Amino acid sequence: MPEFDSKKVADIHQQLHSHLPSDSALRIKALETLLVDKGLVNPDTIDAWVEAYSEEIGPKRGAEVVAKAWSDSKFKQKLMQDAPAAIDELGYLGKATAHLKVVENTDDVHNLVVCTLCSCYPFSILGIAPAWYKAAAYRSRAVRDPRGVLAEFGVHINNEVEIRVWDSTAELRYLVLPQRPAGTEQMGEDELAGLVTRNSMIGTDRDLGANPGRAY
Amino acid sequence: MDGIHDLGGKEGYGPIEVIKDGSPFHHDWEGREWGIAQCARTPGITIDWWRHCRELIMPQDYLGRPYFDSWAQTDFATYIEAGLISMEEVIEGKAKAGDSHYANPPAPMSVQQVLQEDRNHAFRYDAKIEPEPAFSIGQKVLTSSHGNIGHTRLPQYARGRHGVVHAYHGAHVFPDLSAQGKEVHQHLYSISFAATDLWPEVQNRKDKVYLDLWESYLQDGQS
């Protein structure tokens, strides 16, 4: 059982710095070998988690949630009031989404999500976070210079638009509901979902009419 | 803790590497570590203790090594601290003979079972508590000017700042104590801060930053 001893862990990290192999692949192999030897994990289950988050769970789920919110006003109302219950209807409630909140972009508001203290992310609807979301450059600047950050993603926000940055400091997780592009009134949910980029659900993309059909 | 992990507002980390790549994992070992983190049995651990152990990684490793690599180092540290594996075993690269902690190792899970397990991982952190929330929506609050030693979720950039209660979320597990293995619930609020109150260089008066903060980080901000 853990003793919750911070000093001991700081000392362990110093020793690991000296003793672990430098190569990441060898480090993770060493960890897996020890845990399997000790009966703490089953390697086949690791395979299954990798496949689940490569094939089944990813931003296509979030895109489906967004497309349904655009198409179905009752679903949207539920999503805004009780997002975990709404995504559970689609079978997408899961890891890190039991306290999901949805924040909506409008003509006057743009939302951007970050976790400055670690890398919190709504896994069961967006999958594995992109590398930039977990990197120091994004985590440090999103709260201080969101307009500069967005410009690096090719997104230029008019000064009249209010930017709301959501720093995920608790167990709440945030999903941005992007604006439905003009001229999509005839589209069904599947086609609409194809317009929704992963970045638009984090807030580093805004105008989905500008680049239709992108995968992310 | 006032550690390297507390990155909000820090300068000098350069431009963002914008890669439009939808691949969840870019190396096999990233996927392996993700899977290990989901299915390894770690009795008595809390999410906040795990986060704190990641914060305790030496700064040069925290910033210099890849993301999932830091997860693996955190796993090593939590297992060693809990006595489930030893530093000697890490150095040797294998478990001591016959040293299995479980008589029955976990059975393999299929992808379908893992998808159900992901649903089971929709953990809630809220609970009902007796005291009424001290603050109400729209109220001005002032954040604590000092962080707590050990794990805490009030970032440095939002300390000693005035904000407004935007939403109340019930009582959630208080991370500062959860990182010490104690489950105590405390009222949780979303607090909005004007960007101009956080950053001297910001000109746009409309922009806001929202943080989810526990009651003991806050005091009334009217006076």
| Dist CA B153 CA B55 (whole Å) | 12
Alpha helices in B14-92 (DSSP H): 28-39, 47-55, 59-64, 67-81, 87-92
Write down the architecture of domain B129-220 according to CATH: Roll (2.30)
pLDDT digits (tens, 9 = 90+) for B94-139: 888 766 666 678 899 999 999 999 999 999 999 999 999 999 999 9
Is A179 found in the same domain as A120?
Answer: yes
| Dist CA A78 CA B178 (whole Å) | 31
CA angle (A104, A108, A110) in 5-degree steps: 50
B1 CA: distance to closest CA in chain A (Å): 11
Is A118 found in the same domain as A24?
Answer: no
The answer to which of A127-141, B4-18, B37-51 has the lowest mean pLDDT is: B37-51
pLDDT of residue B148: 87
Give the chain A residue whose CA is nearest to the CA of B156. Answer: A117
CB contact at 8 A, A116 and A140: yes
Is A34 found in the same domain as A75?
Answer: no
Q: Taking the domain B28-120, which CATH number applies?
A: 1.10.472
Is A31 found in the same domain as A76?
Answer: no
Is A65 found in the same domain as A37?
Answer: no
B28-39 helix and A43-51 helix, angle to the nearest 10 degrees: 110
Is A14 found in the same domain as A116?
Answer: no
What mean pLDDT is predicted for residues B56-60?
97
Q: Note whether B212 contacts A: Cβ–Cβ < 8 A.
A: yes
Q: Which residues of B touch A135 (CB under 8 A)?
A: 13, 16-17, 67
Each domain of chain B, given as residue ranges in start order, spans: 28-120, 129-220
Is A138 found in the same domain as A72?
Answer: yes
| Dist CA B200 CA B172 (whole Å) | 32
Q: Note whether B161 contacts A: Cβ–Cβ < 8 A.
A: no
Q: Catalytic residue positions of A? A: 115, 118-120
Running DSSP on this structure, what letter comes out for residue A178? Answer: P
* Kind of pairing between the strands at A162-167 and B208-214: parallel
Q: Note whether B186 contacts A: Cβ–Cβ < 8 A.
A: no
Residue B19 has pLDDT above 70, yes or no: yes
Residue B195 has pLDDT above 60, yes or no: yes
Is A170 found in the same domain as A86?
Answer: yes
Is A118 found in the same domain as A192?
Answer: yes
What mean pLDDT is predicted for residues B8-16?
97
What mean pLDDT is predicted for residues B175-196?
98
A101 CA: distance to closest CA in chain B (Å): 11
CA distances to A9, A15, A170, B92, B182 from A3, in Å = 10, 18, 23, 24, 12
Q: Is residue A20 domain-resident?
A: yes
pLDDT of residue B103: 61
**If contacts are CB pairs under 8 Å, which of residues 4-63 in chain B contact chain A?**
5-11, 13-22, 24-29, 31-36, 38-41, 43-45, 47, 49, 51-54, 56-58, 61, 63
> Which residue range is the domain that position A113 belongs to?
59-202
Same fold for the pair B28-120 and B129-220: no
Classify each residue of B142-169 as buried b or exposed e, where b means 16 or more C-beta atoms within 10 Å of its C-beta.
Answer: bbbeebbebbbbbbbbbbebebbbbeeb
This complex has an ipTM of: 0.96
If one compares B149 and B73, the residue with the highest pLDDT of the two is B73
Q: Note whether A156 contacts B: Cβ–Cβ < 8 A.
A: no
pLDDT of residue B1: 93
Q: What share of chain B is helix, strand, coil (3-state, %, to 5)?
A: 30, 15, 50
- Check which CATH number belongs to the domain holding A153 and give it: 3.90.330.10
Is A174 found in the same domain as A71?
Answer: yes
Is A29 found in the same domain as A98?
Answer: no
CA distances to A143, A186, B4, B49, B62 from B46, in Å = 27, 48, 21, 5, 21
